[in-house]
Amino acid sequence: MTRFAQRCGVHDAARQQALERASRLIDGSGLELVRFAWCDIHGVTRGKTLVAGAAAQAMASGVGMVSTLMLKDTSDRTAFKVFEPGGTAGLPGFGQANNLMLLADPASFRQLPWTPATGWVQCQPWFQDGTPVEQDTRRVLQRALARLAAEGYGMRCGLEVELHIYRITGTQDLLDPAQAAWPGLPPEVALIHPGYNLLTEAWYDLAEEPLRILQHTAQALGLPLLSLEVELGPSQVEAVFDVTDALTAADNMVLFRSAAKQALRRAGYHATFMCRPPFANIMSSGWHLHQSLVDLASGANLFRRDQPAPGSSAADAQHSLSAAGEHYLAGLLEHARGMAVFCTPTVNGFGRFRPNALAPQSVLWGRDNRGAMLRVVGECGDAGTRIENRIGEPAANPYLYLASQIHAGLDGLQRRLTAPQATDSPYADAHPRLPTSLGEALQALQGDRVLVDAFGADFIHYFSRIKQSELARYELAEDKDDFQRREYFSRF
């Protein structure tokens, strides 16, 4: 019988070796269960759990998955009328809640550290005839990286991820069947540190137990964790990860978020990657994405400049960035409003864009300026020269966030765009503003022809339909705070 992986055209000698290795690990480690996990459009992992004896065959033959999982908004409601004629128009291969197939990458296999005798493997969805599901967000990033590679470029990314961790003090109806709702309430919580004392050692010591859980979980999974820090807000912390290639960085972010929430929950903590938790005294969380391009042949950092451009000043991009770096920077600025919804995709996240909050408000760049949307880091001769995008929220889908950077930056490179001078007043009124709401951000995306063409009009329609479903329910909600408490704090 032909294996499904062969029908998809992805089975080769390397995959066979990875499959054999995963099978040996499953047998040799005494595993009982293997989770087949996939990242949905919201960056949330879903999937099926198989008994260990069925896992090896499933990695070759695929696992069935209902297609409506790709059509859910943030409440888990299906945003398309799948049982009505024309309800999935523009989505060929979808309809009637039909089956897709999850195909695992056996090279991603690992054992989960927080639960006994359980393995985990990363998957992507395919149609049953072996054709790829183009709406899969990991495939969206893979297509963007293929565009980069065709130009001779690779992408390197480092992650700075802020989150909030709370101690669970009660269930607050979470598991009470009489109080179940769609979506339900989060648990009652208390702080792990009182905040407003940035990087203080005493607050770190107070929060050490949950931070140790984060450390041990990330390291056991092989994630390149560099540091754990106490942030300014109450119960807010930050995890910093070393630079990797872009696809690995996105995969790591998906796995870290899922693992952090599960491991901490088992220990009595509630971790949330919601930007602005539903309490009066909080600081917004951001996801700062450090990025650079490298030459695929040599691995050299293509943003690095050895000497300032003749006649340039510190306010000029080419004072420390290469010409390619300036073009890429200018592309990010050119498409900042259009890409914003991929970097900040929730109603909640737009509350972060406010003056003097170490978060951006306007479309501009600065040299080592944490108030600017784009922060250029590195002096001439620095192999670590990079651009930090500061508009992301930690709930963003990593594949879409990174793909938006690639498409915007490539446009700057191909059109040889030039950047304005660096700002020294990031909160001045003179600069173009970032979108201030999810609705405005969706409109900005739909008006950006370069991004629409790069992602594909069909994908933009699909993505926008799902986000509009979320937005419409928010606008109809009588209690906006309760909506965000259930929609984001409980789940993200």
Instruction: Tell me if 109 is assigned to some domain.
Output: yes
pTM comes to 0.96
Q: Quick one: 484 and 393 in the same domain?
A: yes
Q: Quick one: 124 and 166 in the same domain?
A: no
pLDDT at 1: 36
pLDDT at 2: 53
CB neighbour list of residue 262: distance below 8 Å, 6 or more residues apart: 114, 115
Out of 107, 133, 159, a domain closes at 133
| Local confidence pLDDT in tens for the 492 residues of the chain | 358 888 988 888 999 999 999 999 998 889 999 999 999 999 999 999 999 999 999 998 999 999 999 999 999 999 999 999 888 988 998 989 899 999 999 999 999 999 999 999 999 999 999 999 999 999 999 999 999 999 999 999 999 999 999 999 976 656 778 778 888 888 899 999 999 999 999 999 999 999 999 999 999 999 999 999 999 999 999 999 999 999 999 999 999 999 999 999 999 999 999 999 999 999 999 999 999 999 999 999 999 999 998 988 889 889 999 999 999 999 999 999 999 999 999 999 998 888 877 789 999 999 988 889 999 999 998 999 999 999 999 999 999 999 999 999 999 999 999 999 988 888 888 789 999 999 999 999 999 999 999 999 999 999 999 999 999 999 999 999 999 999 999 889
Go through 158-191 and write b for each residue having 16 or more CB atoms within 10 A of its CB, e for each that does not: bbbbbbbbbbbeeebbbeeeeeeeebbbbbebeb
Q: Quick one: 287 and 174 in the same domain?
A: yes
Where are the strands (E) in 235-367, listed by range?
Answer: 236-245, 269-272, 287-295, 365-367
Instruction: Give CA–CA dist 374/422, Å, rounded.
Output: 10
CA angle 127, 140, 403 (to 5 degrees): 170
Q: Is the peptide bond before 183 cis (omega within 30 degrees of 0)?
A: yes
pLDDT at 176: 77
Instruction: Tell me if 440 is assigned to some domain.
Output: yes
Query: Which amino acid is it at 80?
Result: F
Ordered DSSP codes for 280-308: SS-----EEEEEEEEETTT--BTTB-SSP
- The CB density around residue 277, as the number of other CB atoms within 10 Å, is 26
Q: Quick one: 363 and 245 in the same domain?
A: yes
Q: Which of 60, 81, 86 is nearest to 71 (CA)?
A: 81
Query: Which amino acid is it at 280?
Result: A
Ordered DSSP codes for 422-441: PPS-TT-TTSPBPPSSHHHH
Go through 400-430 and write b for each residue having 16 or more CB atoms within 10 A of its CB, e for each that does not: bbbbbbbbbbbbbbeeebebeebbeebbeee
Distance, C-alpha 338 to centroid of its chain? 17
Supply the angle between the helices 323-334 and 336-343 in degrees, to the nearest 10: 80
Instruction: Tell me if 334 is assigned to some domain.
Output: yes
Q: Quick one: 404 and 308 in the same domain?
A: yes
Out of 133, 164, 196, a domain closes at 133
Q: How many domains does the structure of the chain reveal?
A: 2
Out of 82, 103, 133, a domain closes at 133
Contact in structure between 320 and 381 (CB atoms under 8 Å)? no
Instruction: Tell me if 138 is assigned to some domain.
Output: no
Tell me, what CATH number does 103's domain have?
3.10.20.70
Tell me, what CATH number does 446's domain have?
3.30.590.10
Instruction: Measure Cα distances from 286 to 259, 388, 393 in Å.
Output: 19, 12, 5
What is the residue range of 308's domain? 145-489
Contact in structure between 40 and 70 (CB atoms under 8 Å)? yes
Instruction: Tell me if 139 is assigned to some domain.
Output: no
Q: Quick one: 11 and 160 in the same domain?
A: no
Q: Quick one: 66 and 197 in the same domain?
A: no
Q: Quick one: 85 and 193 in the same domain?
A: no
User: Is residue 235 left, alpha or beta, with left meaning phi > 0 and alpha meaning psi from -120 to 50?
Assistant: left
- How do strand 188-191 and strand 236-245 relate by DSSP bridges? unpaired
Tell me the CA end-to-end span of the chain in Å, nearest whole number. 41
Contact in structure between 159 and 152 (CB atoms under 8 Å)? no
Q: Quick one: 349 and 206 in the same domain?
A: yes
Q: Quick one: 482 and 333 in the same domain?
A: yes
Query: Which amino acid is it at 65?
Result: M
Instruction: Name the token pair of 20.
Output: 């054999």
Instruction: Tell me if 140 is assigned to some domain.
Output: no
Q: Quick one: 414 and 480 in the same domain?
A: yes
Instruction: Tell me if 211 is assigned to some domain.
Output: yes
Q: Quick one: 389 and 482 in the same domain?
A: yes
Q: In the block, which residue shows the tokens 């390149």?
A: 224
